[in-house]
Structure 1
């Protein structure tokens, strides 16, 4: 009763104080129950204190908003910096690319210029070597052989005459020093009398083989570079006794990198090889192994892949003319040269005919040299040397003597061993030899041109050789 009275009085007081500022709300609570809310403005406080945590929460929200804005700015700045860095790196790379392109073009021009100059030097060298000895001095100069017997002076082949340094052929023909007792004549006489008269024909027209020991090898003369990776190793050669369909100027090459080496490219002459225009392409009936092939009397001799079988391939008929097993020879990496390349069986030609260089288990890796019948491939005679095949880079034959190259990669190496099949004796020698391109995978001798043909790291080169007699 008293409670109701108090509430009534209170309502009257509040009504008198608030008058029109009282408000009644009717709404559902969280549980869905209907409830009434009666609000009256305070006559004393302009505002009441906020619920706990209100301002702090608002401040925290404000700070979070600021932090988010700052993070957004930082992220945007970093992305911009990253984009700017990438743009600068890209610009730098493009500038370097343009500089490299300019350098490449400059080097290409230099290479073309050097190639042109080398070709001019080679042609000039061949022209000088092909020029005959002046004819006007022939009837005026008598000479004697090594036994001091007077003979009529024959027409001396030009390759036996050395040209004095600093003089051209034309200058020599007009030089007054070409008298009987002059120093230039003495130099010529010293060269000519090295060849005994007994080795010249009675007609005085041509010399015999003029065999002797190797005393020096000239610098490599570049002729051509292989076009692609298949030409890192290879064989190139000229037939020293060409017969049949192809002439003596024909040059043949084989790129020997690959598992199925069959293509044999033919060029009319050295000029066509230099230009890279083959006039004939033959397909070998059986694949070849390594770089040991050679040419002789119209046939190519090579080792069949993965075997010790020797093959004679006739160039004219484009067919196998003979095949024979090389007894006990190692093959496919058993006894290669030091550079590898499955160089177990290596054919060679010199003044005495066709040879094959290899090794056997009986020889325990030492080089064995056999002379072959060029028609049937029958072994005529064999010599076992004391030179380890795996310790030398390559080998070739000159005048029945075996010569070995010490290194295939050293730019300045030497021909370090010789073995004479006539005496069965070997000896250590030191004849300077240059691997200009530092990976020499093939060295063969051509007795007609008196040159070594080599394949040095894509490059086809020749070396002029000098013998004692």
Structure 2
């Protein structure tokens, strides 16, 4: 009996010791798991803190990069402005020299005669001067076409402000739209069809300009934009902008005596740039007291003024004008809009006589043209009439050589 009792006591003691052992093991494992969880929480907190610091550092870096970019842009604009100011004196001196010196062939033909070719007021009888005149005359009289009528009219759409301008680059299919009478941007479309599909000009690609344009008198010629910047009442600047690179390439001052508008019915048009087969032209008024529209031939590469004419076309009741083959066509209307009509014509080569210039009426539309831009490749006019964009297809004929 005694051995059995001893065996039972020994077995009970063994079970009790095992229970304490396993309980200690479980406590140890639980403590280790808690320690691991604490370390994992610490690692998570540190990772979150590092991530937050990294985001803050990234934000500061981006702000610093944007600041440097803005400063670089401002510095570049300041350098461009300084370059323009440096050139102003030279441009103004060139203009004064052009204005005060005799016009090309002015000592030989002081003014245009209605019938016949240029007549010399003074004949010196020198063969050298005659050769100089023939060379100049051949340079400015390459084109011999004149408008005979309006063949067809297409109202493309109505979009934008009542006044504005749209045109197409003669050397490409791209269309450029100036909405309103002033601003620092324009809108670009790949083609006329592309422009007709957009419900609003704001849906297209926008081109920001380095300065603000004044009036719907801009022109696009050989991939460059030429626009008017009115700085003061007596300073008018012609700016040349490269549409491909998006940079201003040149600017020229064109001083006027006082603030004047070239067309009486469109006072927002301080000057009007035009491009045709012969190159780049500028229609302007020298002062508010000047009754007629003046014409200047400009070098599209340097913006130098090559020659100036008095067109003898009055500014009164004029709404727009355009140039075709070196001939200025001035469109007139009334203060109460009626039918627009070409009533005055001036040919820089004096190859068009008064009897040959027909009175051409535009089809009755909505109001008065804010702008008319000629495309020499298509023989078409791009008009802006009370917010409507209109295309006029022209009929041409040869000038009478007299």
Same-fold call, TM cutoff 0.5: yes
Which residue pairs with 1:292 in the alignment?
217
2:288 counterpart of 1:357: no
What is the deviation of 1:218?
3.2
Q: Distance in 1 between matches of 2:186 and 2:287?
A: 32
What does the per-residue CA deviation read over 1:416-451, in whole Å, with 9 as the maximum and x for residues that have no partner? 111010128774640121241113100111101100
- Greater relative contact order structure (CA < 8 Å, 6+ sep): 2
Q: Secondary structure at the match of 2:316?
A: helix
- In the other structure, the counterpart of 1:386 is 312
Larger Rg: 1
Corresponding position: 1:255 with 2:179: yes
Aligned partner of 2:129 in structure 1 is none
| Residue 411 of structure 1: how far off its partner (Å) | 4.2
- Asked whether the 8 Å contact 1:392–1:406 carries over to 2, the reply is yes
Which stretches in structure 2 are left out of the alignment for 5+ residues?
1-141
CA separation of 1:411 and 1:218: change in aligned 2, threshold 3 A = farther
Distance 2:359 2:178 in 1: 31
Question: Does structure 2 retain, via aligned residues, the 8 Å contact 1:363–1:384?
Answer: no
How far off is 1:365 after superposition? 3.0
Aligned to 1:322: 250
Q: Distance in 1 between matches of 2:211 and 2:363?
A: 34
Question: Matches of 1:415 and 1:447 in 2, distance apart?
Answer: 18
Cα offset for 1:341? Answer: 3.4
Aligned to 1:449: 378
Q: How many residues align?
A: 249
Match of 1:398 in 2: 324
**Structure 1 pair 319–377 and aligned structure 2 pair: CA distance change class (3 A):** same
Return the match for 2:164 from 234, 237, 240: 234
1:305-342 CA deviation, whole Å, 9 max, x = no partner? 344111011111211111001143654xx133122232
* Aligned 8 A contact 1:410 1:435 in 2: no
Q: Distance in 1 between matches of 2:204 and 2:341?
A: 36
Equivalent residues of 2:280, 2:300 under 8 A apart: yes
Provide Cα deviations, 1:158-188, integer angstroms capped at 9, x if missing partner: xxxxxxxxxxxxxxxxxxxxxxxxxxxxxxx
Aligned partner of 2:340 among 406, 410, 413: 413
RMSD of Structure 2 on Structure 1 (CA): 2.4
Name 2:300's counterpart in structure 1.
Answer: 374
Shift of 1:412: 2.6
Q: Distance in 1 between matches of 2:310 and 2:368?
A: 28
Query: Which ranges of 4 or more aligned residues in structure 1 deviate by more than 4 Å?
Result: none
Structure 1 residues 239 and 329 mapped into 2: Cα distance closer, same or farther (>3 Å)? farther
In the other structure, the counterpart of 2:109 is none
Counterparts of 1:235 and 1:330, CA distance in 2: 25
Aligned to 2:198: 276
Aligned to 2:366: 437
